[in-house]
Structure 1
Amino acid sequence: MPLLIGKKKPADIERQAKAMLQAVGLEHRSHHRPSELSGGERQRVAIARALVNKPRLVLADEPTGNLDARNADSIFQLLGELNVAQRTAFLVVTHDLQLAKRMSRQLEMRDGRLTADLTLMGAE
């Protein structure tokens, strides 16, 4: 849908959509309806949809919450690659401390207030 709104050519839309589905490991499920996908697959489709227009900023609330460890790691690697290659910024909200530790900057929030700003050493 995001590409249709942008008035792209149908062939370009299909190419970009397939490439992004492949990036999240779901190209083989491209003709399935949402009701035929698992929760984790739906989450990966949502990530692909968010990334297909190459945004400068992505707001992600628990982006790996419904994923198994292997798929979560794969998605995190993709986000890292896009951060570097396309200069996409990711603001990620998570309770997953392992995921948070992999971010270049961590902000901690408690009771609606920022309580810590933990910038990792050497991150830019």
Structure 2
Amino acid sequence: MGLYLCIFDGDDELDGVEVGSYADFGTFRTAVATHVEEGVEGSRCPMLMLHSDCDGQWFLEEVVLLRAELATITERFMELPPEPLGGDWKPEVAKTFGLYPANLYDCFFDVDGEPLLDRLMGLAQLSVERNLPILFQ
């Protein structure tokens, strides 16, 4: 089962990000804990790290904080060397879209090969602009 983060305005879906499996999201959060939080989960990125990924949502107040966390993660991941692509689908997507990670930032992408942090930041931006929560599905 995959993790899908999205924004709805009534019945209309405005945007969504298919992250991959819950395990993939867990791998992303593990990298954040290791490289951004120095092993203390939730110490620098509590909105991302301590929020349950099971059928919840980030409310607008949380999204404002989440955006700052995503900017911090992006900056740090761009400074670090790449790690091997894990998971069942990531190597194939990388091959399909010609992705060759140059840093840790490049190692995390959605199922369409788009940078995960960019997609999450875009979702957060839309959430703030439209005053709507980000839903976990």
Q: Which has the higher contact order (CA 8 A, sep 6+)?
A: 2
Higher radius of gyration, 1 or 2: 1
Short-chain TM bin: 0.3 to 0.5
Normalised TM-score (structure 1): 0.33
